[in-house]
Amino acid sequence: MARGKLKDVDTQALTELAETFPSTAPKKRKSQKREGDITVTLRLPPYIYKALRVKAAAEDKTQRELILMGLKALGLDIKEEDITDRRRN
């Protein structure tokens, strides 16, 4: 578009029209982190990480759930409410 043609654009009308459009900004998700939770980072061989992802998807669980279930099976005292998928609450 040539520069000279833009001077005829009603910028006020465009601004008002733009305000009626839905926002394109991503919605901010509320943090699922509970007070007192600690983030742990660990390094895994790729085959273990892949197996964890596949198992979680097959069982419709999160990786976090599977890890906590495994720790509970090892005898750690883990409450059931800490194992549940927080995304579904």
pTM of the model: 0.58
* pLDDT, position 85: 73
Listed in sequence order, the residues at least 6 apart from 6 whose beta carbon sits closer than 8 Å to its beta carbon are none
* pLDDT, position 72: 96
Determine the distance from the C-alpha atom of residue 39 to the mean position of all C-alpha atoms in its chain, rounded to a whole number. 15
* pLDDT, position 11: 82
* pLDDT, position 73: 97
Q: What is the pLDDT of residues 14-27, one digit of tens each?
A: 888 888 888 887 77
Whose tokens are 């839905």? That residue is: 22
Q: What's the angle, vertex CA 58, arms to CA 47 and CA 61, rounded to 5? A: 95
Which has more confidence, 86 or 39? 39
Q: What is the pLDDT of residues 38-65, one digit of tens each?
A: 899 999 999 999 999 999 999 999 999 9
Q: Please name the residue ranges forming H helices in 1-89.
A: 11-18, 46-58, 63-73, 80-83
